[in-house]
Amino acid sequence: GAGVSQSPRYKVAKRGQDVALRCDPISGHVSLFWYQQALGQGPEFLTYFQNEAQLDKSGLPSDRFFAERPEGSVSTLKIQRTQQEDSAVYLCASSSGQGARYLYGYTFGSGTRLTVV
Amino acid sequence: AQTVTQSQPEMSVQEAETVTLSCTYDTSENNYYLFWYKQPPSRQMILVIRQEAYKQQNATENRFSVNFQKAAKSFSLKISDSQLGDTAMYFCAFTGKNTDKLIFGTGTRLQVFP
């Protein structure tokens, strides 16, 4: 596609519910990142994929957070047993490679706003 | 660990005037990249300008320019001839050869008044 697509745009979950957030990167982009942006804060790194390999998951806040990218394209971020502190915007970004990130930055989606009630 | 600090939570400027947003960072790397991103209410991060640390010349993109002071680890953004459409959150970000991810500051909310 022309850009990074994320769905749903908004998600309201009851505390304890499981949620799945989807990211469709730009076609051919090998690198994919997930960020969490709390209200009034800058995005914070969650995890990074190169193709289907999850190379860095150091930012995932707990074992309730899980991300996958089984075929090296679409990625899903899953949050189990959601809690109120999980309320945030979840941003996905992709790039065609390390060199491209340095030259062009990252292409971001518009995010999913998750509200846990 | 790398950190990025934006000390101005909010700034305002009148249309057509110039405004400067501040950013400082900390890193032990010598080869790295700095970015300014704009985030309008649509939430999508839009790249405004980038700077390579090994280039001494300050980057410029139309009305946007940076003042990159490597020794001071400072990377400020100057917006000239401000327009109403510049109203947004602005984030300073860092990435390095040893840091695949982008590290963001906390952002500056810029309001341009007519």
pLDDT in tens, B25-45: 999 988 899 999 999 988 889
pLDDT of residue A106: 87
Give the distance from residue B73's alpha carbon to the nearest chain A alpha carbon, in angstroms: 18
What distances in angstroms separate CA B53 from CA A98, B49, B59, one per listed residue?
Answer: 16, 13, 11
Interface probe with B: pick from A34, A108, A114, most Cβ of B within 10 Å: A108
pLDDT in tens, A83-114: 999 999 999 999 987 777 777 778 999 999 99
Residue A106 to residue B45, Cβ atoms within 8 A: yes
pLDDT in tens, A52-84: 999 999 999 999 999 999 999 999 999 999 999
Q: Report d(CA A38, CA A88) in Å as an integer.
A: 5
Residue A106 to residue B102, Cβ atoms within 8 A: yes
Residue B1 pLDDT > 90? no
Contact B113, B13 (CB under 8 A): yes
Size of interface A-B (CB pairs under 8 A): 63
Residue A105 to residue B105, Cβ atoms within 8 A: no
Q: Report d(CA B18, CA B83) in Å as an integer.
A: 10
Torsion of CA B8, A36, B47, A1, to 10 degrees: -160
Residue B105 to residue A45, Cβ atoms within 8 A: no
pLDDT in tens, A13-45: 999 999 999 999 999 899 999 999 999 899 999
C-alpha atoms less than 13 angstroms from C-alpha of A67 in its C-beta half-sphere: 33
**Interchain contact B37–A (C-beta under 8 A):** yes
Give the distance from residue A43's alpha carbon to the nearest chain B alpha carbon, in angstroms: 6
Among A107, A114, A53, A42, residue whose Cα is nearest residue A78: A114
Question: Once rounded to an integer, what is the mean pLDDT over residues B72-83?
Answer: 97
Q: What is the largest CA-CA distance in chain A?
A: 42
Residue A1 pLDDT > 70? no
Average pLDDT, chain B: 94
pLDDT level of residue B83 (50, 70, 90 thresholds): very high
